[in-house]
């Protein structure tokens, strides 16, 4: 398969220059030039270098903790302290959402089959079918917060605050994902899917959706046969009851910020987080950096941040700082959809302020 991410080329040394984002079927809308912080080709090539070692250590630690917490949760079933055990297991399970997101870029591992194997495992765990998501997410990067073009705007204006609250337990988004799986499994892709999934990938989307549904039905059958919900507590349901931190992290990315601008510094947040949160979030707290240079692996985003931070707005000092801004913004947008948080750029840089046509 031709990688959706192949569309992103190296920037050169000149501040503000970027190569057009293109996916081949969107005409002039795709040809918009996004602002890119000045990074030399040599520096960027080094940052984009993939390596199995850092990714293997990261995923081995995560899967090891997941297995350990799962064993503790199993032993605690029926005990009062099982609530805490399953919260830990569910949290570690649900953050597959952030791992599958990173692996969708194909940047996690140098060895492609390792990247793909773990990508599809994590995609199932988070119930976002991988073949469909890769193209959806490519469009999100190409058209970040461009209304009508970005299929992954988490908090469109005016925001549905109830839906955002329900997604602390993956209820609203889970309903959307389930509907998409069912529709795609029939062989008739969703309208979005027909728009951005290439013809050659549609069969994979359809059969993957059918496989997901088959596994979910098998889990339900085992629960019925054993007269216990315990099997589902380890597979499928953890994405729901363990989704709290996923939603906490995900909304810090873009919620309440500007739309229809070609500058990731204005529509995306970078948040300084503690080591535990960075591990859970797979370094996606460096989100301006990730959007500006999406081919840089997650384990090099901190280095990229250090390189370009002088050309970006100050990062938020923790999750609380980000939520202290975004939550009031979402509430205000209920009454004033045109409102957004205006990020202050360094005085020596100029924003790319073109509005989407």
Any domain includes 345: no
Place of tokens 């601008």: 261
**Domain count for the chain:** 1
Distance (Å, whole) CA 341 – CA 324: 12
17: which residues sit within 8 A by CB, 6+ positions away? 11, 33, 36
- The predicted-structure confidence for 248-307, as pLDDT tens digits, reads as follows 999 999 999 999 999 999 999 999 999 999 999 999 999 999 999 999 999 999 999 999
At residue 23, the pLDDT reads 40
Other CB atoms within 10 A of residue 303 CB: 14
List % helix, strand, coil for the chain (3-state, nearest 5): 60, 0, 40
CB 342 within 8 A of CB 258: yes
At residue 350, the pLDDT reads 67
Any domain includes 343: no
Structural domain range at position 189: 4-335
Tokens linked to 90: 């569910």
Any domain includes 246: yes
Any domain includes 346: no
In DSSP notation, 46-111 reads HHT---HHHHHHHHHHHHHHHHHHHHHHHHHTTSTTHHHHHHHHHHHHHTHHHHHHHHHTT-S-SS
Any domain includes 192: yes
Indicate the burial class of 284 (C-beta count within 10 angstroms; 0-12, 13-18, 19 or more).
buried
User: Which among 28, 308, 258 is positioned nearest to 144, based on CA atoms?
Assistant: 258
Cα separation values, 329 from 20, 217, 266, 322, 341, Å: 31, 40, 15, 11, 7
- Phi, psi values for residue 356, rounded to 5°: -65, 140
pTM for the full predicted model: 0.89
Distance (Å, whole) CA 137 – CA 147: 15
Distance (Å, whole) CA 221 – CA 43: 53
**Which parts of the chain register pLDDT below 50?**
1-29, 354-357
At residue 348, the pLDDT reads 79
Distance of CA 117 to the CA centre of its chain: 18
At residue 192, the pLDDT reads 86
Any domain includes 326: yes
Q: Collapsing DSSP states into helix, strand and coil, what is residue 356? A: coil
Place of tokens 């293109």: 22
Any domain includes 342: no
314: which residues sit within 8 A by CB, 6+ positions away? none
Any domain includes 24: yes
Cα separation values, 58 from 105, 242, 282, 299, Å: 17, 20, 9, 9
Distance (Å, whole) CA 158 – CA 197: 28
User: Which among 121, 355, 135, 140 is positioned nearest to 259, based on CA atoms?
Assistant: 355
């Amino acid at each position: 398969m031709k990688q959706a991410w192949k569309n992103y080329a190296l920037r050169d040394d000149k501040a503000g220059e970027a190569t057009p984002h293109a996916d081949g079927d969107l005409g002039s809308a795709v040809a918009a030039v996004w602002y890119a912080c000045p990074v030399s080709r040599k520096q960027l090539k080094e940052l984009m270098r993939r390596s199995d070692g850092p990714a293997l250590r990261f995923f081995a630690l995560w899967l090891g903790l997941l297995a350990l917490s799962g064993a503790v949760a199993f032993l605690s079933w029926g005990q009062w302290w099982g609530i805490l055990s399953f919260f830990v297991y569910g949290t570690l399970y649900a953050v597959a959402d952030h791992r599958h997101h990173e692996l969708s870029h194909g940047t996690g591992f140098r060895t492609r089959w390792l990247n793909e194997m773990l990508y599809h495992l994590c995609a199932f765990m988070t119930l976002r079918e991988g073949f469909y998501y890769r193209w959806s997410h490519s469009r999100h990067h190409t058209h970040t917060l461009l209304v009508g073009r970005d299929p992954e705007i988490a908090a469109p204006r005016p925001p549905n605050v109830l839906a955002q609250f329900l997604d602390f337990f993956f209820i609203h988004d889970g309903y959307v994902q389930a509907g998409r799986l069912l529709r795609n499994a029939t062989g008739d892709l969703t309208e979005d899917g027909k728009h951005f999934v290439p013809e050659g990938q549609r069969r994979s989307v359809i059969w993957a959706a059918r496989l997901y549904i088959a596994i979910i039905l098998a889990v339900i059958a085992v629960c019925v046969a054993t007269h216990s919900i315990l099997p589902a507590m380890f597979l499928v349901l953890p994405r729901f009851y363990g989704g709290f931190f996923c939603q906490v992290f995900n909304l810090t990315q873009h919620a309440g910020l500007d739309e229809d601008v070609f500058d990731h510094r204005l529509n995306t947040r970078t948040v300084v987080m503690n080591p535990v949160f960075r591990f859970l979030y797979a370094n996606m707290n460096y989100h301006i950096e990730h959007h500006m240079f999406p081919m840089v692996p997650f384990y090099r985003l901190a280095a990229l941040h250090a390189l370009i931070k002088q050309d970006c707005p100050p990062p938020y000092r923790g999750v609380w700082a980000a939520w202290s801004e975004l939550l009031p913004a979402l509430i205000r947008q209920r009454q004033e959809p045109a409102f957004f948080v205006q990020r202050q750029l360094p005085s020596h840089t100029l924003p790319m302020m073109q509005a989407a046509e």
